[in-house]
Every structure is written in structure tokens, then in C-alpha cells.
Amino acid sequence: MDILRLAGQSQGRNRAVAHGDLVFTVATAGNAGPDLKAQTAASLAQIEANLVEAGSDKTKLLQATVYVTDISRKAEMDEVWCAWIGPDNWPQRACIGVDLAPGDLVEIVVVAAR
């Protein structure tokens, strides 16, 4: 089977990879400013664009891992996440507090079917 690799802006990594019936993608949005909600919304928009380009969409999410720099602010991220994902098609999801690159407040990694 062929592997589809969607090049990212950083050397040594892709923004999405698809193989068989699966798509793997990741996004951050430090360029969206210092607001967690704005970074979450921008990251999710990039995730959705990556999924569509790879032949999937957010209704086919299987798994998501959300990394936030301040876990006490998880509710802010959840508010944006829940509005984006809608009432159906919820994936299995984990949220983890971590250190991220300077300026990044959230990083989202997903696996979807295609």
C-alpha cells in the first residue's frame, strides 16, 4: 500500500500521513496568539483541513490526544472542542498537561478512518 505524506512547514515531519484506511495528523497554532481558545480553534481548523486533504473528515475521528500547557485551563479547550466536534461522532480522547514549544498552548494529535 502507498503512504500519503502531506508535508508540513517543519523539517523532519509531516502535518499528516495516510496509510490504508487510516489518517494521522497533528496541529498547533501558536501563531493564533496567546489565547487558549483561539489556539484550539485554529488547531482544529488545521486538523480538519489536513483530514479532508487526506480523504477523511472530523466525523471519522477514532482517537485524539490533546496536549495543553496548563491543565487547569482544560475547560477552555473543551468548550472549543465540543463546539467543533458536535453532538455525534465523538472519538476516544485524552487530554494531557505538558510543556510545549514557546508560544504553543495546545497541540492536538488525531487518528481518523478514511
Q: How many CA atoms lie within 13 A of 22 on its CB side?
A: 8
Cell numbers given for 96:
494531557
What span, in angstroms and rounded, lies between the C-alpha atoms of 73 and 67? Answer: 11
Residue 21 has phi, psi (to 5 degrees) of -95, 15
Which DSSP helix (H) or strand (E) runs through 84? helix 74-85
Domains observed in the chain: 3-113 (3.30.1330.40)
pLDDT of residue 12: 86
Per DSSP, helices labelled H in 28-68 are: 36-53
Indicate whether 21 pLDDT > 80.
yes
Q: State pLDDT tens for residues 68-111.
A: 999 999 999 999 999 999 999 999 999 999 999 999 999 999 99
What span, in angstroms and rounded, lies between the C-alpha atoms of 47 and 35? Answer: 18
